[in-house]
Amino acid sequence: MVVAIDGPSGSGKSSVSRGVASALGLAYLDTGAMYRAATWWCLHRGVPLSDVDAVAGQVRTLPLVMGVDPQHPTVHVDGIDVGEAIRTTEISAAVSAVATNLQVRAELGRLQRAEIESARVRGRGIVAEGRDITTVVAPDADVRVLLTASEEARLARRARDVHGSDDAAAVEATRDQVLRRDADDSTVVQFHVAADGVVTVDSSHLDFDQTVQAVLDVVESVVGPRA
């Protein structure tokens, strides 16, 4: 089974997808981490992100290994564990420049399809999450979900993650990496409105466990009850 989940920043894609994958015994692919790893690789190699062709060339050499265990997802580039390095504010601020490069999207989309196919062939199935999984990377997925949440809820969640608080100052400090990044990313991929056949789950008024359950309910409604 392939489950595709898209949505904006802070909607809960990564955490909820991991919860769903764990509950169903599926692999888990964080495609945002692949764009972050590509950004890290270009900066590590001194490639200016404004040079579209140089970035695309560098990403074609990306020696990326994604660990797809939902309990312990990992990201290695050239043998280096970059799991923490790709979550820094520097990468969060820079990643849209790489994610809006259409040559990069073609290359990473190819890698993502290969990961999904390899999970399918191994008979394990996978939950893949990002911005264009339901529409471009795996439009034929068995289950397709758009996970949304109000701007207010998304900002508060990210503020708690990054600053340990959701007071006004923390929310303001988070605005760039949530709303500006979504606005930039939206110029090349549409993840605010569900495409045909994609089920919307709005997590604004749900807690984490309720959101995982809501997605599991969608899975069950599409593929039937689990054995």
Ligand X SMILES: Nc1ncnc2c1ncn2[C@@H]1O[C@H](COP(=O)(O)OP(=O)(O)O)[C@@H](O)[C@H]1O
How far is Cα of residue 81 from the mean position of the Cα atoms in its chain? 18
Is 70 flagged in the annotation as binding?
Answer: no
Secondary structure (H, E, C), 157-188: HHHHHHHCCCCHHHHHHHHHHHHHHHHHHCCC
Q: Would you give the binding string for ligand X spanning residues 131-170, x where CB under 6 A is met?
A: --------------------------x---x---------
Is 164 flagged in the annotation as binding?
Answer: no
Q: Does 101 contact ligand YYY by CB under 6 A?
A: no
Task: Classify 123 as helix, strand or coil.
Answer: coil
> What contacts 227, CB < 8 A, 6 or more positions away?
none
Is 79 flagged in the annotation as binding?
Answer: no
Q: Does 7 contact ligand X by CB under 6 A?
A: yes
Choice from 4, 9, 28, 77 touching ligand YYY (CB under 6 A): 9
Choice from 130, 138, 149, 199 touching ligand YYY (CB under 6 A): 130
The Cβ-side half-sphere exposure at 179, using a 13 Å CA radius, reads 14
In the complex, the residues that contact ligand YYY under the rule CB under 6 A are: 9, 14, 31-33, 35-36, 95-96, 99, 130-133, 181, 185, 189
